Structure 1
Amino acid sequence: MRQLGELEAEIMYRLWTWGRPATARDVLTDINKQRPLAYSTVKTVADILYNKGMLKRHKEGRAWVYTPTCTRQEYTASQMHEALGSNPDPAGTLVSFLDQITPEEANALRSALRAAKRRSDA
């Protein structure tokens, strides 16, 4: 999965946060609380996200209703995997990453590794 552009990310983050399907108009209404944007812009970017496979959609009346095809966690994991896969020294990259994370993030990583080990042992 390729990295999202600025408006693509704004749309996806709203849909992930809301946890419910939404129309381009719903997204526009929320974005317009912070900055003005045209409906056609949001609609076009939602259609691009649909064509990229990031959103699925169905019709309700005359409007398309959009739903993410992956969770925010799955998207982030794919970005991390892509970054590691494109690096000639993935171990060095991981060490550098570990040098930058907080103790809380390190604990979350340990928990995730234990959970993954339990799944693989099952």
Structure 2
Amino acid sequence: MVRRLGELESTIMDRMWATNAPASVRDVLEHLQRERTIAYTTVMTVMDKLHTKGLLKREPVGRAYVYETVSSKEAYTAEVMRDSLSRSGNRAATLVHFLERLTPEEANALDAALQVYPPKGRRS
């Protein structure tokens, strides 16, 4: 089961995905402090939890860690989607409900994705 992210976890992961570069807790803290008051230990705890969940990898540098994302935001989102689908009682019905709610832009994105990577069994 893919673990959903809480608000602060999402904020930190969005920052990590956006920079796509190694970052220390201090780096992330300084970015977050531009918009909110937050303690170093809070950011450290959340980044440790994201590491435990397998979303961040880390390397020791001196007395601290430097963190990097394990995969892209798109790959994580795809895993969340697959997990939701696998837990539905009726996958076909779930997909129909999903497709019914697509905006025209989302439908175009889905169509473009299927052109790049057709579903198994539909390859020419």
Q: 2:111 corresponds to which letter in structure 1?
A: R
Structure 2 distance, partners of 1:59, 1:119, is 42
Task: Tell which deviates more after alignment, 92-101 or 82-91.
Answer: 92-101
What secondary structure sits across from 2:57 in the alignment?
strand
Count of matched residue pairs: 122
Q: 2:77 corresponds to which letter in structure 1?
A: T
What secondary structure sits across from 1:45 in the alignment?
helix
Query: CA RMSD for the aligned pairs?
Result: 1.8
Residue 31 of structure 1 corresponds to which residue in structure 2? 32
Structure 2 distance, partners of 1:119, 1:14, is 34
What secondary structure sits across from 1:58 in the alignment?
strand
Matches within 5 A, 1:64-83: 64-83=65-84
Residue 105 of structure 1 corresponds to which residue in structure 2? 106
Q: 1:105 corresponds to which letter in structure 2?
A: E
Unaligned 5+ runs, structure 2:
none
Decide whether aligned partners of structure 1 residues 64 and 32 sit closer, same or farther in structure 2, where only a CA change above 3 A counts.
Answer: same
Matches within 5 A, 1:1-122: 1-117=2-118, 121=123
Displacement of 1:115 after TM fit? 1.4
Decide whether aligned partners of structure 1 residues 119 and 84 sit closer, same or farther in structure 2, where only a CA change above 3 A counts.
Answer: closer
Q: Comparing both structures, which one devotes a greater share of its residues to helix?
A: 1
Displacement of 1:52 after TM fit? 1.7
Displacement of 1:18 after TM fit? 0.8
